[in-house]
């Protein structure tokens, strides 16, 4: 599914994703905390992650397991033995001035290789009839590798030229990172966006990372036009920027081609403020990483049973969930996709089912009512980051289940149910409670209304006399009743009863 | 042998004074000539797999468990803190990038 | 009567445990001896006298209280300055690390402390272990106690010279391509390179990780074995250590006479050595025969390729290991303020000595784009082949015999700045490192002019016991304890 741009040049985009394994307790090679985000500068460090002389890396078992789970989700092959390599380059955020990573040029070293993943694709609106025939896109995965994150460099002043020095914090150094390299199988920035959204969701399903944490999932991009040289874009801070940077790069390359200037194979940085890519270094420099096998880490024997053992612990993946929703629950493909595309929504759905097992009804309430609400709030700019959240609404799965149950079992009118649901969402009260309150408040028994009328007539006996000449008295009395009861009585019934009462007196 | 010593110095981040370049360049060449002995060796008739080297192997099961180190308070031990040089508010002072 | 500093460690340790003398008295005597001698030998880079005295008092107290104080009770141990000791400077004899104090103990150091050993100071060496003479040191060269104008051998020159000159009875060195055995041979002490994976490298500042091991140096095999037992063992802090029972024995001669070890004599190496070295090696062959060993000539066909293979791997690993020294987090005085990072790194790293720079450049070259296959991969292949040849030999022999060094100690400055000439001196020692085997250098005699000669024995991986047995035999045969330099 290679699409041609308007100029007729084939566009090929590949991704290099970096996913921090934030759900680990410790770093990749030492027992410092994997969660570096709450520490003051350089507090979450030890001789190993600071690369002090004489320290040796001690590989985290669980990190290997988590990385292999990602491989499984991407349908990669997992070799029986894995090994680590040193990628040698100098940079002040790198405590050892080399990064321990994996590398497949001299042997099969990485935890995963040659995978492929279909992405479900964004569900279009219901009116879009093509939605069901929409083809699933397939992306090939070149490799998945486990490596360490570097530290972080900051400045006191925003403009780097003003600064006389930089400030380095090594708290992040050594945190487990999984790099996923795709083949250049994307043909549009939009496809990239859809894919990224889904991948983030997938990571969440796997339980290896919390994508809502800043910097936990990062992405580099490579773009080539018309079979030309590949340009890599690094330094992209968020997924929104990924799309923008690709658009920019396409335009830049097109302009070059138009002027008969060769596109150089290089790495460019995305300048978020100026919204341009800037040349960073040439490929030639990059080839000097002087990779060689890390002598301090033995080759790790995963063994023949490793894959089956980890696979058994693998949580249900979105694609499997989708199948279950459509096949077992008979939910429409459209609705099911919306549910699974956000793990938290899907989990919410699952939880609701525990209170009332009517998947179709519940799924409709979530997709048509709840998500509409959330999207409204979204548009008001309440939530941001890579993942939208339910957190800001104090909705419980039981609330949705109750509404669904009221409609299905007590044949509650849908419009009223919708009102009740809205009230429930806003107040956090359970729908059942709201219904109960409403029913108590509705004064429909005639005896109660007659009592109110009598009380009014007793306090204002002149009304009986006046009513004989003035038909407006009935309306006046009704007004008093409404005032008294704060409008809880049925006006038709009340009118009838007022008439009867006046006549009887 | 196209060894550009200056390029190599840049790669290895080593500053070598101009007046020493010729000498060190000569030594590098001399040693590389010794390394060329490797070219005389042919692996014909030998079957060597890339994984059949001297690299140690370790079973996955024997790797480190994902457990944070006990905090200093609970272990009762005081871990001597490394004194990083040139710090400011806990950050390590670095050069300009 | 001999002074305490002349006695073997195990003898003194016994006296301390029996409360014949106190650990404090002994350490005080050792301190005096070091003060008297080391200005001539230059074997120490830093001293830990206060700390040592404090530790000795603690040991005396324990002994009085009847608490078991361990295999090395009261024994001062010198540590090569590339092995981390908490709170002490750890310079690797480099200006790059002139201010670096280690915040942690190497595993071997913790183990020595646990067994009552006392860290007396750090020992001089070739910068980062790169050298065969201990002349490439920011502290100046180590001098050979047998003649102060001569090299002590390297890179663990301080470790060998301090023990040979009766300053301390025990030291730790590290051996990447002969760095324990060469100075042991040149100074007439006994030094062992343990099997790769039997001693933790945690805390050893890496020069070439896949080749090197920490090992002890002593004046007699009876002192060497206890400390070897102490430092050997699997370490959770070093994933390249091997789980095994390490319990080396000092067998009696009667027991050894029944073992009848098969010894392969690497005659080509003996013949290629200086005449006095060759003659002495043959004498050792004879002595082993006298004690019931069976000797046979043999050879290692691929030895010709060993040197190139070794130096490609060592420099490649070194170039990467030494990258971390950029003087940002630790190192020496100086601040990056005002610098652009490339120039700061290059300028900071200019503090490396010339030999280290040379090896970093070589290593960077052999790993650079397009050369990996020509150099590194080829070197590793040859390494595997050499290992195979050893496997075949060890099917036949228990032990291989060859000289430690092809030459006698030479004058200071004689081979300085001549890389190839120096590298060529390593040809006999690098074999054991390439193949991950264990090897020992045992004093074999003195030349006519009174310079030490060492004989080297190599055994299969984890066959240290065979080397120890042979050392007991050779020590019995000639009693090398009497070879003490006059200083």
- Please tell me the distance from the alpha carbon of residue A222 to that of residue A29, in angstroms, as a whole number: 30
Whether residue C250 lies inside any domain: the answer is: yes
Whether residue A99 lies inside any domain: the answer is: yes
Closest residue by Cα to residue A98 from A20, A22, A174, A18: A174
Q: Which of B3, B24, B56 sits opposite C197 (nearest CB)?
A: B56
The rounded radius of gyration (Å) of the Cα atoms in chain B is 24
Q: Which of A58, A160, A169 sits opposite B96 (nearest CB)?
A: A160
Q: How many domains does chain A have?
A: 3
Cα C229 from chain centre: 16
Predicted confidence at residue B48, as pLDDT, reads: 56
Whether residue B91 lies inside any domain: the answer is: no
pLDDT in tens, A55-81: 999 999 999 999 999 999 999 999 999
Query: Does any CB of chain A come closer than 8 Å to the CB of residue B38?
Result: no
Whether residue B12 lies inside any domain: the answer is: yes
- Please tell me the distance from the alpha carbon of residue A117 to that of residue A115, in angstroms, as a whole number: 7
ipTM, two decimals: 0.96
More confident residue, A124 or A483: A483
Whether residue A273 lies inside any domain: the answer is: no
Does the annotation count C80 as an active-site position?
yes
User: Can you point out the beta strands (E) in C301-435?
Assistant: 399-403
Whether residue A143 lies inside any domain: the answer is: yes
Is the pLDDT at C187 greater than 80, yes or no?
Answer: yes
Q: How many domains does chain C have?
A: 1
Whether residue A46 lies inside any domain: the answer is: yes
- Please tell me the distance from the alpha carbon of residue C159 to that of residue C163, in angstroms, as a whole number: 7
Cβ–Cβ < 8 Å for C439, C212: no
pLDDT in tens, C432-461: 999 999 999 999 999 999 999 999 999 999
Predicted confidence at residue A416, as pLDDT, reads: 76
Structural element, H or E, at residue B36: none
Residue range of the domain that includes B18? 5-40
Residues in chain B: 97
Q: Do B80 and C309 touch (CB under 8 A)?
A: no
Measured between CA atoms, how close is C131 to chain A, in angstroms? Answer: 19
pLDDT-derived band at C118, boundaries 50, 70, 90 = very high
Same domain, A157 and A172: yes
Residue range of the domain that includes C213? 4-259+463-482
Whether residue B97 lies inside any domain: the answer is: no
pLDDT in tens, C263-288: 999 999 999 999 999 999 999 999 99
Instruction: Pick the last residue of a domain from A404, A422, A441.
Output: A441
pLDDT in tens, B43-65: 665 655 554 566 789 999 999 99
Which of B18, B21, B42, B54 is the mutation pick for testing C, counting most C CBs within 10 A?
Answer: B54
What A328-335 contacts at long range (C-beta under 8 Å, 24+ apart), as own/partner pairs, is A329/A359, A329/A360, A329/A363, A330/A359, A330/A360, A331/A359, A331/A360, A331/A363, A333/A123, A333/A131, A333/A132, A334/A123, A334/A126, A334/A131, A335/A363, A335/A364, A335/A367
Whether residue C379 lies inside any domain: the answer is: no
Considering chain A, what percentage of its residues have pLDDT values greater than 90?
A: 53
Structural element, H or E, at residue B88: strand B87-88
Same domain, A294 and A325: no
More confident residue, C56 or A410: C56
Residue range of the domain that includes A481? 446-504
Q: How many domains does chain B have?
A: 1
DSSP letter for each residue of A430-464: -HHHHHHHHHHH-B--HHHHHHHHHHHHHH-THHH
Q: Do A300 and B84 touch (CB under 8 A)?
A: no
Same domain, A354 and A394: yes
Residues 87-106 of chain A whose Cβ lies under 8 A from any Cβ of chain C: 88, 90-92, 95-98, 106
Cβ–Cβ < 8 Å for C28, C60: no
pLDDT in tens, A127-144: 444 444 455 689 999 999
Is the pLDDT at A384 greater than 50, yes or no?
Answer: no
Average pLDDT of chain C is: 97
Query: Does any CB of chain C come closer than 8 Å to the CB of residue B12?
Result: yes
Does the annotation count C179 as an active-site position?
yes
pLDDT in tens, C304-342: 999 999 999 999 999 999 999 999 999 999 999 999 999
- Please tell me the distance from the alpha carbon of residue A454 to that of residue A465, in angstroms, as a whole number: 15
Whether residue B58 lies inside any domain: the answer is: no
Same domain, A346 and A409: yes
Q: Do A58 and C237 touch (CB under 8 A)?
A: yes
Does the annotation count C155 as an active-site position?
yes
Same domain, A293 and A412: no
Q: Do A51 and C329 touch (CB under 8 A)?
A: yes
Considering chain C, what percentage of its residues have pLDDT values greater than 90?
A: 97
- Given the residues C102, C110, C155, C200, select the one marked as catalytic: C155
- Please tell me the distance from the alpha carbon of residue C342 to that of residue A488, in angstroms, as a whole number: 80
Same domain, A415 and A455: no
Size of interface A-B (CB pairs under 8 A): 113
Cα distances (Å, whole numbers) of residue C424 to C160, C210, C420, C436: 21, 21, 6, 20
Same domain, A193 and A58: yes
- Given the residues C15, C80, C122, C193, select the one marked as catalytic: C80
Query: Does any CB of chain C come closer than 8 Å to the CB of residue B93?
Result: yes
Q: Do B57 and A300 touch (CB under 8 A)?
A: yes
Same domain, A185 and A301: yes
Q: Which tokens is A256 given?
A: 């070059």
Whether residue C321 lies inside any domain: the answer is: no
Whether residue A488 lies inside any domain: the answer is: yes
Whether residue C421 lies inside any domain: the answer is: no
Q: Do A56 and C104 touch (CB under 8 A)?
A: no
- Please tell me the distance from the alpha carbon of residue C248 to that of residue C233, in angstroms, as a whole number: 12
Question: What CATH number is attached to the domain comprising C61?
Answer: 3.90.1300.10
Provide mean pLDDT across the span B89-93. 95
Same domain, A35 and A184: yes
Query: Does any CB of chain C come closer than 8 Å to the CB of residue B46?
Result: yes
Q: Which residues of A touch B97 (CB under 8 A)?
A: 92, 153, 160, 166
More confident residue, B3 or A36: A36
Strand, helix or coil for residue C149: strand
Task: Return the C-alpha torsion angle C240, C243, C245, C251, nearest 10.
Answer: -30
pLDDT in tens, A316-373: 999 899 999 999 999 999 999 999 988 889 999 999 999 999 999 999 989 988 888 7
Same domain, A87 and A47: yes
- Please tell me the distance from the alpha carbon of residue A385 to that of residue A212, in angstroms, as a whole number: 6
Same domain, A199 and A302: yes
Q: Which of A46, A63, A167 sits opposite B88 (nearest CB)?
A: A167
Same domain, A170 and A85: yes
pLDDT-derived band at A434, boundaries 50, 70, 90 = confident
Predicted confidence at residue C109, as pLDDT, reads: 98
């Amino acid at each position: 599914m290679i699409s041609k741009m308007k100029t007729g040049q084939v566009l090929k985009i590949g991704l290099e994703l970096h996913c921090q394994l934030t759900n680990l307790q410790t770093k990749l090679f030492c027992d410092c905390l994997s969660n570096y985000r709450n520490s003051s500068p350089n507090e979450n460090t030890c001789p190993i992650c600071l690369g002090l002389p004489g320290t040796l890396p001690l590989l985290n078992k669980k990190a290997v397991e988590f990385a292999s789970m990602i491989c499984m989700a991407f349908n990669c092959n997992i070799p029986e033995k894995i090994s680590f390599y040193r990628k040698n380059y100098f940079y002040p955020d790198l405590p050892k001035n080399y990064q321990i990573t994996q590398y497949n040029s001299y042997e099969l070293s990485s935890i995963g290789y040659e995978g492929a993943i279909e992405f479900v694709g964004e569900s279009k609106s219901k009116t879009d009839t093509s939605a069901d025939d929409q083809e699933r896109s397939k992306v090939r995965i070149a490799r998945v590798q486990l490596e360490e994150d570097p530290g972080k460099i900051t400045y006191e002043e925003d403009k780097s030229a003003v600064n006389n020095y930089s400030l380095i914090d090594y708290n992040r150094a050594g945190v487990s990172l999984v790099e996923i390299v795709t083949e250049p199988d994307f043909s549009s920035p939009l496809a990239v966006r859809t894919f990224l959204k889904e991948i983030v969701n997938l990571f969440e399903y796997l339980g290896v990372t919390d994508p809502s944490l800043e910097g936990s999932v990062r992405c580099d991009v490579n773009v080539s036009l018309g079979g030309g040289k590949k340009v890599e874009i690094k330094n992209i801070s968020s997924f929104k920027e990924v799309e923008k940077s690709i658009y920019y790069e396409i335009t830049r390359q097109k302009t070059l081609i138009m002027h008969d200037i060769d596109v150089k194979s290089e790495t460019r940085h995305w300048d978020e403020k100026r919204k341009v890519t800037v040349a960073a270094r040439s490929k030639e420099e990059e080839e000097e990483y002087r990779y060689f096998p890390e002598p301090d880490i033995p080759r790790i024997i995963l063994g023949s049973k490793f894959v089956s053992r980890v696979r058994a612990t693998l949580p249900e993946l979105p694609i499997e969930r989708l199948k279950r929703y459509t096949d077992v629950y008979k939910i429409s493909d459209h609705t099911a996709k919306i549910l699974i595309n956000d793990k938290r929504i899907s989990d919410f759905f699952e939880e609701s089912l525990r209170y009332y097992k009517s998947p179709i009804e519940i799924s409709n309430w979530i997709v048509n009512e709840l998500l509409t609400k959330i999207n409204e709030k979204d548009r008001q700019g309440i939530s941001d980051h890579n993942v939208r959240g339910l957190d800001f609404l104090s909705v419980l799965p039981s609330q949705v289940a109750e509404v669904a149950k009221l409609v299905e079992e007590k044949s509650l009118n849908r419009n009223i149910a919708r009102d009740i649901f809205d009230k429930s969402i806003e107040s956090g009260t359970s729908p059942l409670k709201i219904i109960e309150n409403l029913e108590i408040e509705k004064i429909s028994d005639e005896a109660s209304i007659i009592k109110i009328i009598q009380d009014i007539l007793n306090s204002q006996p002149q009304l009986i006399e006046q009513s004989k000449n003035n038909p407006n008295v009935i309306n006046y009395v009704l007004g008093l009743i409404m005032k008294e009861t704060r409008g809880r009585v049925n006006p038709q019934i009340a009118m009838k009863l007022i008439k009867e009462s006046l006549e009887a007196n | 042998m196209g060894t550009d010593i200056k390029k190599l110095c840049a790669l290895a981040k080593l500053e070598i004074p101009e007046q020493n370049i010729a000498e060190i360049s000569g030594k590098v060449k001399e040693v590389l000539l010794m390394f060329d002995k490797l070219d005389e060796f042919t692996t014909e008739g030998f079957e060597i797999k890339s994984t059949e080297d001297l690299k140690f192997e370790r079973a996955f099961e024997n790797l480190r468990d994902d457990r944070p180190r006990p905090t200093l308070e609970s272990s009762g031990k005081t871990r001597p803190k490394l004194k990083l040089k040139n710090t400011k508010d806990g950050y390590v002072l670095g050069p300009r990038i | 009567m001999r002074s305490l500093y002349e006695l073997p460690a195990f003898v003194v340790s016994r006296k301390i445990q029996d409360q014949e003398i106190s650990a404090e008295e002994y350490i005080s005597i050792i301190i005096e001896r070091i003060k008297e001698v080391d200005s001539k030998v230059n074997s120490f880079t830093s001293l830990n006298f206060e700390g040592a005295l404090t530790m000795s008092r603690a040991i005396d107290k324990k002994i009085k209280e009847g608490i078991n104080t361990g295999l090395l009770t009261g024994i001062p141990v010198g540590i090569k300055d590339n092995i981390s000791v908490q709170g002490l400077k750890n310079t690797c004899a480099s200006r790059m690390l002139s201010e670096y104090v280690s915040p942690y103990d190497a595993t071997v150091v913790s183990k020595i402390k646990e067994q009552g050993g006392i860290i007396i100071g750090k020992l001089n060496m070739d910068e980062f272990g790169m050298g065969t003479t201990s002349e490439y040191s920011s502290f100046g060269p180590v001098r050979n106690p047998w003649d102060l104008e001569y090299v002590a051998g390297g890179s663990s020159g301080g470790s060998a010279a301090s023990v040979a000159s009766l300053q301390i009875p025990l030291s730790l060195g590290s051996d990447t391509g002969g760095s324990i055995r060469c100075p042991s041979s040149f100074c007439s002490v006994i030094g062992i390179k343990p099997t790769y994976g039997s001693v933790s490298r945690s805390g050893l500042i890496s020069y070439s990780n896949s080749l090197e091991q920490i090992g002890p140096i002593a004046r007699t095999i009876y002192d060497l074995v206890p400390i070897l037992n102490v430092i050997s063992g699997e370490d959770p802090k070093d994933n390249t250590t091997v789980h095994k029972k390490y319990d080396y024995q000092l067998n009696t001669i009667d027991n050894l006479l029944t073992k009848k070890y098969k010894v392969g004599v690497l005659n080509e190496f003996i013949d290629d050595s200086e005449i006095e070295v060759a003659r002495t090696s043959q004498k050792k062959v004879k002595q082993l025969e006298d004690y019931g060993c069976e000797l046979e000539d043999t050879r290692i066909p691929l030895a010709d390729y060993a040197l190139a293979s070794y130096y490609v791997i060592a420099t490649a690993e070194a170039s990467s290991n030494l990258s971390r020294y950029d003087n940002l987090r630790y190192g020496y005085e100086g601040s990056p303020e005002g610098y652009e990072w490339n120039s700061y790194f290059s300028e900071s790293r200019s503090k490396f000595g010339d030999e280290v720079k040379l090896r970093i450049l070589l290593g960077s070259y052999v790993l650079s784009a397009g050369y990996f296959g020509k150099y590194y991969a080829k070197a590793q292949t040859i390494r595997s082949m050499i290992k195979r040849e050893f496997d075949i030999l060890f099917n036949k022999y228990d032990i291989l015999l060859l000289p430690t060094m092809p030459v006698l100690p030479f004058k200071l400055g004689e081979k300085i700045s001549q890389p190839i000439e120096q590298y060529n001196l390593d040809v006999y020692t690098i074999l054991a490192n390439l193949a991950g085997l264990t090897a020992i250098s045992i004093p074999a005699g003195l030349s006519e002019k009174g310079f030490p000669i060492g004989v080297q024995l190599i055994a299969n991986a984890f066959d240290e016991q065979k080397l120890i047995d042979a050392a007991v035999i050779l020590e019995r045969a000639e009693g090398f304890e009497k070879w003490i330099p006059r200083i």
